[in-house]
Amino acid sequence: MDILLLVSIAQSILAATWRMATPLIYTAIGEIFTERSGVINIGLEGIMLIGALSGYVVTSYTDSLFLGISSAVLSGIISGLLFSLFTVTIKANQIVVGAAFNMIGTGLTGFIYRTLYSGGSTDKLVLDTFPSIKIPLLSDIPFFGEILFQQNLMVYATVVLVPLAAFILSKTAFGLYVKAVGEHPKAADTSGINVTLIRYISTTIGATLAALGGAYLSMAHANQFVEGIATGRGFIALAVVVFGRWSPWGAMGASLLFGVFYALQLRLQAMSGNVIPYQFLQVLPYLATLIVLVSLKGRGAEPKALGKPYKA
Amino acid sequence: MKRLLTLTTVILLVAMVSACTPAATEAPTDVEAPAATEALAATEVPAATEAPAAEEDTFKVGLLSPGPVNDQGWNQTAYDGLVLMEQELGAEISYVELGESPSDFEKAFRDYASQGYDMVLGHGFQFQDSAVKVAAEYPDTKFFVSSSYYYEGTNVYGINTRSDQAYYLLGVIAGSYGDKGGYVGGVEIPPIKEGEVGFINGGLSVNPNWSVSVAYLGNWTDVAAAKEAALSMIDEGATFVTPNANIAGNGVYQAAVEKDVWALGSFGDQTAQAPENIVASYVLNYGRGLVNIAREVKEGTFQGDSNILLGVESPDVMYISYNEGAKEVVSQEVRDKVAAAIEGLVSGEIDAMAGYEQ
């Protein structure tokens, strides 16, 4: 196989990598905030679906991507507040509430989607998505141009999101509070930090970013909502948080790693003369992430109070 | 503070619920969407409870649906057929939505059969065993099972569709214009694999250089992965892409639009998904196929000596719909080739599954 062909294949795989990693980055970064504050939200899949649907519905009725994104954010805030109400205030078991969110998210979005769109005209079904923005000059750079500088706004936003999240967590007072509450809520409480408030805020940030991750799928990658569109990404994001050791940069790395192998396996399937069974190729992203996790030995960074409701 | 937060959340919750409500009422309920309550009631008693003075020779058809009949998808195909039977054949119809418990299946079959229903359809392969079990006790009722090849000389008939034929025809169109196609499947199960084989054979029948790039998603919902798969194929040189992955397949049309190549629609007229790039779709009117069967049963012309395969021999059930508004409209010459292929498939001269061992 000649070099030029290989380069072009690598180029399209890498461009796909970032697109496939984006929803994971959003959702995982959000979950890092949630978990760092000591709350575990396994309802990400459901919240992604809720975000995907609300963004899609509002965009399809108003033709405004801005309003669509805003409504996805709003749906994330509502989900986050609800989740906090049950887990922080009422102190219900976080895993159970998370599981409930997954079921509600799947059922509710399916129900609303069918109610609004069944039997109606189909012309409304397809959205004009975020267009890919070619950054002048940079997008003409050979090889890297297409990978890095011809994506859409929501993909570019991850470049801001990750350092911002890292900065907030490590350099701001709020970040310190979040970590304190997640490590030792009693001590944090004694020193005057409002544990409940911090957990509410962190959980809501988490849910909002998960909703955005979902909205990316229905508004910026695909151009429509389909039932179950998240297809397990909410659960993969949960794993990404652990693989990334609760650090935004780590989560980004894990998401990209997952993305590159996902893009690679699709490409391998599509290549002519592929004889490897597709079931094996589909395992690749999971296998690769697992291997990296095992080989990257290091201290665990799991928040000590993770999953434990705080009783003052 | 805590109380305040609780209050705020409750208010938000109420706001959310009330925000949903008007939307629900605005919904296009004219889609013969049967009220949910009605369906629930039916679960308990699928019997035609409201049936006035059961006349002996009323033609009665029952449907066992694995899910909501207004799902715009698989379940609705059967329900639409049921409604057509009522309109065109004056059949008395009834349906029941069932969960996943086989004991319910059996009860539902028995309920219908014991009330003298002429025809009962279990809409999905999962109903086959229950149908077989109950059918032996009710020889006067004909039992049909969707997605099944079952026929053992009894009154249970499997119904299947020839997706290999449909994709063969799409292959004929694509092969007439290009050398490489892309086929995005959901999960590699027999009907999807058959489509792949048909697509390859159809293209080869008109173009010796034809090849197909194939990828499977492993699910039926990941529209984003379907799009990326199609983009990879287009990158590999495919100029005609087609999905066979339920709703996830919609991502394939989107990829065709983005890269401006041609797409072929599956299972229905998909033109709205990509008005300029979809040159043709294969349409499967399953409901019409069911009505055709019901008509034969009603008129007593039903042969009932084999399982049923719905394919291109019924031009109202499976056909190709061309998009006259596409950037490039399929030429008459190619349409003639498709028509010839349909003839060949019907007569048996052409085997869409040639060279494939199951």
Note the pLDDT tens digit of each residue in B210-221: 999 999 999 888
Contact check, Cβ <8 Å, B31/A221: no
Q: CA–CA distance from A121 to each of A272, A300, B31, B330 (Å)?
A: 39, 53, 11, 25
Amino acid at residue number B120: V
Note which residues in 249-278 of chain A have CB less than 8 A from chain B: 262-263, 266-267, 269-272, 274, 278
A29-38, A58-67, A117-126, A294-303: least confident range: A117-126
In-domain check, residue B144: yes
| pLDDT value for B167 | 96
In 3D space, the residue among B146, B123, B131, B150 whose CA is nearest the CA of residue B63 turns out to be: B123
Residues B169 and B118 in one domain: no
Cβ contact (<8 Å) for A270 and B228? no
pLDDT for res B304:
84
B181 touches chain A (CB under 8 A): no
Q: Write the pLDDT tens digit of every residue in B22-43.
A: 333 333 333 344 444 344 444 4
Position A237 confidence tier, pLDDT thresholds 50, 70, 90: very high
Give the ipTM of the model, two decimals please.
Answer: 0.90
* Contact call for residues A196 and A88 (beta carbons, < 8 A): yes
Alpha-carbon distance A226 to A116, whole Å?
13
Gap from A260 CA to chain B (nearest CA, Å): 12
For residue B340, the SS3 value is helix
Give yes or no: residues B137 and B224 share one domain: no
Q: Do A8 and B228 touch (CB under 8 A)?
A: no
Average confidence (pLDDT) over B79-87? 93
> Are A116 and B23 an interchain contact pair (Cβ–Cβ within 8 Å)?
yes
Q: Is the pLDDT of residue A96 over 50?
A: yes
What number does CATH give the domain A3-295?
1.10.3470
**Chain B contact probe: residue of A267, A286, A311 with most B CBs at under 10 A:** A267
Select from B2, B68, B254 the Cβ nearest to the Cβ of A196. B2
Residues 6+ apart with CB under 8 A from B128: B122, B145, B148, B150, B156, B158
On whether residue B134 sits in a domain, the answer given is: yes
Q: Report CB contact under 8 Å: B188, A278.
A: yes
Do the chains contact at B223 and A217, CB–CB below 8 Å?
Answer: yes
Instruction: Say yes or no: A92 contacts chain B, CB-CB below 8 A.
Output: no
Find the CB nearest B224 among A122, A221, A279. A221
Check A123 against B272: CB less than 8 A apart: yes
* Domain match, B72 and B219 both: no
Shared-domain flag, residues B183 and B246: yes
Q: Label residue A104 by pLDDT band (50, 70, 90).
A: very high
Q: Is the pLDDT of residue B289 over 50?
A: yes
C-beta separation of B345 from B168 below 8 A: yes
Q: Is residue B126 part of a domain?
A: yes
| C-beta neighbour count of B211 within 10 angstroms | 18
Q: What is the pLDDT of residue B17?
A: 45
pLDDT of residue A288: 85
pLDDT at position B33:
40
Read off the pLDDT of each residue in B306-322 and give the average, rounded to a whole number: 92
Q: How far apart are CA A142 and CA B334, in angstroms?
A: 40
Test the B interface: residue of A84, A115, A124, A286 with most B CBs within 10 Å: A115
For residue A222, the chain B residues in CB contact (below 8 A) are 223-224, 227, 250-251, 254
B250 and B309 together in one domain: no
Between CA B352 and CA B358, with CA B356 as vertex, the angle to 5 degrees is 115
Domain regions of chain A by residue span: 3-295
Q: In this structure, are B343 and B259 located in the same domain? A: yes
CB B228 to CB A20 under 8 A?
Answer: yes
For residue B46, pLDDT beyond 50: no
Res. A227: pLDDT tops 60: yes
A149 vs A182, higher pLDDT: A182
Quote the minimal CA–CA distance from B254 to chain A in Å.
7
The residue among B256 and B39 whose pLDDT is bigger is B256
Q: Is B83 an interface residue toward A (CB < 8 Å)?
A: no
What tokens appear for A304 in the block?
Answer: 């000590």
Whether residue B75 lies inside any domain: the answer is yes
Domain CATH number, residue B271: 3.40.50.2300
Residue of B27, B216, B223 lying closest to A222 (CB–CB): B223
Q: Give the count of domains, chain B.
A: 2
Supply the mean pLDDT for chain B.
84
Let me know whether B89 and B232 are in one domain.
no
- What are A162-188's pLDDT values in tens digits? 999 999 999 999 999 999 999 999 999
Report which of B241, B217, B219, B236 is spatially closest to residue A13, judged by C-alpha positions. Answer: B236
Count Cβ–Cβ pairs < 8 Å, chain A vs chain B: 140
- State whether residue B193 sits within 8 Å of chain A by CB: no
Pick from B144, B84, B77: which is nearest to B285 by CA?
Answer: B77
- Quickly state the pLDDT bin for B122 (edges 50, 70, 90): very high
* Residue A134 identity: K
- What backbone torsions phi and psi does residue B154 show, to the nearest 5 degrees? -100, -165
Residues B228 and B342 in one domain: yes
Q: Does A116 touch chain B (CB under 8 A)?
A: yes
Place of tokens 């599954």: B353
Alpha carbon A5 to chain centroid, angstroms: 32
- To the nearest whole number, what is the mean pLDDT of chain A? 90
B273 contacts in chain A (CB < 8 Å): 122, 125-126
Share of chain A above pLDDT 70, in %: 96
Hey, is the C-beta of B233 within 8 angstroms of any chain A C-beta? yes
Question: Does residue B261 fall inside a structural domain?
Answer: yes
Q: Cα–Cα distance between B119 and B141 in angstroms, integer?
A: 6
pLDDT band at B11 (very low <50, low <70, confident <90, very high): low
Q: How confident is the model at residue B77 (pLDDT cuts 50, 70, 90)?
A: confident
Residue B356 lies in a domain: no
Quick one: pLDDT band at residue A125, thresholds 50, 70, 90? confident
Assess if residue B225 is contained within a domain. yes
Specify whether the CB–CB gap between A292 and A256 falls below 8 A: no
| Strand positions, DSSP E, B15-71 | 60-65
pLDDT surpassing 90 at residue B342? yes
Both B301 and B338 in a single domain?
Answer: no
Q: Is A229 an 8 Å CB contact of chain B?
A: yes
Q: Are residues B336 and B195 in the same domain?
A: yes
pLDDT at B71 over 90: no
Of A16, A81, A270, the CB nearest to B9: A81
pLDDT at A213 over 80: yes
Its domain, for residue B171, covers: 163-284+328-347
Asked if residue B333 and residue B245 are part of one domain, the reply reads yes
Has residue A85 got a pLDDT over 50?
A: yes
Chain A within 8 Å of B27 (Cβ-Cβ)? Answer: yes
CA distance B113 to B62: 9
In the prediction, which pLDDT does B49 show? 43
Phi, psi of A151 (to 5 degrees): -110, 180
What residue spans of A118-232 are helical by DSSP H?
Answer: 144-148, 153-171, 173-183, 185-190, 195-215
Q: Show the tokens assigned to B130.
A: 């229950």
The answer to whether position B323 is within a domain reads no
* CA-based R_g, chain B, Å: 23
Contact B224 A229 (CB under 8 A): yes
pLDDT for A122 beyond 80: no
Task: Examine the domain organization and report whether B219 and B342 are in the same domain.
Answer: yes
Q: Which of A82, A119, A263 sits opposite B228 (nearest CB)?
A: A263
Residues of A in contact with B33 (CB under 8 A): 118-119
